Amino acid sequence: MGSLHNNDAAGAGTSPASRAVLPSYTHRQVIWCWARSCGIVNVVTQLFLIRHGEAVSNVQPIVGGMRGDTGLTPRGVAQAERLRDRLASTGEVAADVLISSTLPRARETAEIIAPALGLPIIWDDEVQEMRPGVADGMSLDDFREKFGIPSTEREPFRPLAPGGENWGQFMLRVGTTLERITREYEGKTIVLVCHGGIIDGSLLYFFRMSALTVPPVQMYTRNTSITHWQKVRIEGKAARWRLMKYNDVFHLYDIGTSKQIPWADLLARPASDGDRPVEPLEAEEGQN
């Protein structure tokens, strides 16, 4: 380890010109790279959560359970196609498994992007959106008139409608399902085509926040957005999840323009990532 500190010794016997072109690394960067190369820090599991494209039930609007969900709008199809093109060209997600909700809007999205990943789709009922019970298929106005909108603060255990889930039950299903899937596919790269509620719930689950009531901040998870979680195991410590990105919709930026994003000319990830440690050393934790 002593040699990692001695930059002067490493440069002894070389010309000033040759030393000038060597990359400049901070102590923290050197330690991070060393830890990765020695296996002290290992990326164990990658989890990519993708929200479905714009749905007919979102636009009309209709309570979109299995009965009310009639799939994607033309815009939703275009969104999913843009995501497919991005994934096919960049190769940024080297997936081992593709899992999708069984609701039509998610199924259709998964079927559009599946060729880019080269994987069969595994259908999973447990990654459906919050279950609406007998309100499924009703217009939003009729739903409000008949059942009202439950307040998670005053009535945390009230379901959306009879036969549906309340917020706590939904978050329990989200946490239980994410735990099951990430355990079953430990060490793999997982793509999960799902819903805004599942993605919002992942934030509560991995950040270990209260799931009894809706959080005081509001998430705005966009159609076909990519949310990336990464599980890291550090020697001598418990494995932990870290949020790599949330709500990435860069592939939608050319919709409605005469240009197309040149995905083939872009890197799968920023070239600077290899030089930027993301795991703080214990001595540096809490420092600004």
- DSSP assignment of the chain, as one string? -HHHH-HHHHTTTS-HHHHHTS----HHHHHHHHHHHTTSEEEEEEEEEEEPPPBHHHHTTB--STTT---B-HHHHHHHHHHHHHHHHH-----SEEEE-SSHHHHHHHHHHHHHHT-PEEE-GGGSPPP-GGGTT-BHHHHHHHH-PPPTTT-TT--SSTTS--HHHHHHHHHHHHHHHHHHTTTSEEEEEE-HHHHHHHHHHHHT---SS--SS---PPTT-EEEEEEEEETTS--EEEEEEEEE-GGGTTTTSS----GGGS-SS-GGGGG---S--GGGTT--
| Buried b / exposed e along 13-46 (16+ C-beta atoms within 10 A) | eeeeeeeeeeeeeeeeeebbbebeeeebbeeebb
* 233/229 Cα distance (integer angstroms): 13
State the pLDDT at residue 236. 78
State the pLDDT at residue 39. 52
HEC per residue, 8-21: HHHCCCCCHHHHHC
The residues spanned by each domain of the chain are 45-265
**Which CATH number, 3.30.2010.10, 3.40.50.1240, 3.30.2130.10, 3.30.70.1280, labels domain 45-265?**
3.40.50.1240
Q: Report yes or no: 139 and 145 within 8 Å, Cβ to Cβ.
A: no
Per-residue pLDDT of the chain (288 residues; tens, 9 = 90+): 444 444 444 444 444 444 444 444 455 444 445 455 555 668 889 999 999 999 999 999 999 999 999 999 999 999 999 999 999 999 999 999 999 999 999 999 999 999 999 999 999 999 999 999 999 999 999 999 999 988 877 888 899 999 999 999 999 999 999 999 999 999 999 999 999 999 999 999 999 998 877 888 889 999 999 999 999 988 878 889 999 999 999 999 999 999 889 998 888 878 877 655 555 545 444 444
* 33/91 Cα distance (integer angstroms): 24
Specify the pTM: 0.81
Give per-residue pLDDT as tens, 232-276: 988 878 889 999 999 999 999 999 999 889 998 888 878 877 655
